[in-house]
Structures are given as C-alpha cells and as structure tokens.
Amino acid sequence: MASRQVLFLAVVVATAIAFFPATTSAMDYMVGDSHGWTLEYPSNWADDKSFKIGDNLVFMFPKDKHTVTEVDGPAFRACDRQGNTLRTWNSGNDTVALDRAGRRWFFCNVENHCERGMKLLVNVADPNAPAPSSPSPPPPPSSSAGINYRA
Ligand SMILES: *[C@@H]1O[C@H](CO)[C@@H](O)[C@H](O)[C@H]1NC(C)=O
Ligand SMILES: [Cu+2]
C-alpha cells in the first residue's frame, strides 16, 4: 500500500515536471539598479537581461520629477511625448507587471528626459511557448531533379 502511494506521488511529480518545464521563478527588476529611474539611468541597463511573463519592473524615482509612461513603438523611437500613450505611472514606486509576451516601450514624459536616455524597451518572453524551431533545411532535391528525360 505504501509503495502504491509512492508510485502515485512519483507520477504526480513527473506530470508536474512534464507540464512545467524550465519554469524559472519570477523576478522583480529594479529599473536602473542603484541609479533608479532618473537622469542617471544607464541606457544599457536592459541589455543583459531576459524578461519573461511574470516578471515585474520596479521603477523608483522622485515623485513629480519623472514619470513612467508606456507608449507604442513609434512614439518610443521618436521620444514623442504627444504620441500614443498607453499608460502612465507616477507614484515614484511603481511596479509594472510584465504580464504578456512581446515588446513594451517606456519612457519618462518630462521635458527632454527621453532624449537624455530615460527610455526602456523590454522584450517579454513567454516561458511556456514552444521553443522556436530551428530553420528547416532546404528540401532535398527530388530524384528526378536535373534529369532531362527527353535527352
Ligand atoms: C514600494 O512599494 C512596495 C509595495 O508596493 C513596498 O513594499 C515598498 O516598501 C515600497 N518601497 C519604498 C522604498 O517605498
Ligand atoms: Cu524624467
């Protein structure tokens, strides 16, 4: 009886592992680390990071000096403060949940702060998406390729 319970447990564990492969724990990222979300924000801060669904971005900044403004790609690229704004956070301690896969664009909507480097693009991965397949090799030539039957 005990061994049946052990077997049952083993099946449960194996099933859990099969259904949740390579699930890593969610991360809270302090944007800009010790610089925070300020004019000292290092523009390459995100370069060595891989964001995934479930992670959070925590923006810390002096309230009323900056904003966290989520915009679309064109507004982001142009630092266009009149562009398409999706959402703004301005408490100075703002957690943005990365709750969907894909690109998200943030900048500071104060004066020329975006031009001065307060802009952040994150590319959020879906850890449960199937791994991208490697490019398939070209199909092998069919057996008749190159043969001129009328020769
Ligand atoms: C920021 O907010 C979180 C909860 O939203 C809180 O736990 C934390 O103490 C706050 N940090 C500061 C420095 O205010
Ligand atoms: Cu700013």
What is the pLDDT confidence band of residue 1, given thresholds at 50, 70 and 90? very low
What mean pLDDT, rounded, does the chain reach? 85
Q: What are the structural domain ranges in the chain?
A: 27-125
* Assigned CATH class of 27-125: mainly beta
Q: Is 91 in the pocket of ligand 1 (CB under 6 A)?
A: no
- Alpha carbons 147 and 104: distance in angstroms, whole number: 53
- Alpha carbons 11 and 3: distance in angstroms, whole number: 12
The strand pairing partners of 122, in sequence order, are: 104
Pocket test for ligand 1, best of 58, 93, 94, 95 (most atoms within 8 A of CB): 93
pTM assigned to the model = 0.74
- Percentage of the chain beyond pLDDT 70 is 72
Quote the ligand 2 centre to 53 CA distance (angstroms): 26
What are the pLDDT digits (tens) for 124-141?
999 988 876 766 666 666
Specify whether the backbone of 2 is left (phi greater than 0), alpha (psi in -120 to 50) or beta: alpha
At residue 20, φ and ψ (nearest 5 deg) are: -125, 65
- Alpha carbons 89 and 73: distance in angstroms, whole number: 18
What are the pLDDT digits (tens) for 32-68?
999 999 999 999 999 999 999 999 999 999 999 999 9
